[in-house]
Amino acid sequence: MNYKNYTPQENEFFAENELIQIIPNFRENPFDFISGTFGPFRPGRPVTVPLWLAIYLKQRNKCQVQLPIWLDYDTLTKIKGIERESGDIFSEDIPYYYFELAHLLFTHCSDEFAHLQKMKSVLEDIFELRKEKLIRMLKKVDPVTPVKYLSTAGAVELNVIRPAFGAAYTVAGQMQNILDNCEKAIEANAQGGASQQE
């Protein structure tokens, strides 16, 4: 199996499809895209759009971006505390692409943030705490470990450990198959020996 890492740019590309609210300063009928219909756009009325469209409109001074609730300095500080205190459990208060979303918003909507540098620092701390949790989990991997325990890890953490985790999981699975085959061979030999004695 190929457990290739996605590049940060590829993860950001996926994250750009996440929905976010904007407040447009223009009037326009709904936009139809493959991913859905967004709008209508009316000045001062919030509308939900994909992040890539929000960035496009923001760059053209056509909207103000409403930041996600979790992307606030106080909220991130609380999430950091939860991550530190919760053992191997991940906080569910941030989305899968939290790191990529934050990076895109920091880059393209920096004027929307009051404490940009502090937020970047807290976000890095959250990433490090979550990455350490994944590494601890990787050390405990066995072929019957349910993958659901990774369901609340973020894309950025999974990307860091993907090759090692994939390889370890594959080897653990192969070892389990070998043990199963040995057990079957022992049972077959035991049954064969018993029938010869009769």
pLDDT in tens, 31-45: 999 999 999 999 999
Residue 188: exposed, middle, or buried by beta-carbon count in 10 A (0-12, 13-18, 19+)?
exposed
Region of poorest pLDDT, from 33-47, 86-100, 153-167: 153-167
Q: pTM, whole model, 2 decimals?
A: 0.78
Domain 8-164 has CATH 3.30.420.40: no
**What average pLDDT does range 142-168 have in this prediction?**
66
With residue 23 as reference, give the H or E element that holds it: strand 19-24
**Is the pLDDT reported for residue 147 higher than 60?**
no
Q: Which of 184, 138, 188 has the alpha carbon at shortest distance from 162?
A: 138
Q: What is the pLDDT of residue 1?
A: 45
**What average pLDDT does range 114-138 have in this prediction?**
91
User: Quick check: 81 and 130 in contact, CB under 8 A?
Assistant: no
Q: What is the pLDDT of residue 194?
A: 56
Which segment, 5-19, 117-131, 151-165, is predicted with the most confidence on average?
117-131
Determine the Cα angle at 38 with ends 31 and 42, to 5°: 85
d(CA 54, CA 198): 80
Q: What is the pLDDT of residue 156?
A: 84
Q: Which is more confidently placed, 191 or 9? A: 9
To the nearest whole number, what is the mean pLDDT of the chain?
85
pLDDT band, very low/low/confident/very high, at 181 (cuts 50, 70, 90):
confident
DSSP class of residue 91? P
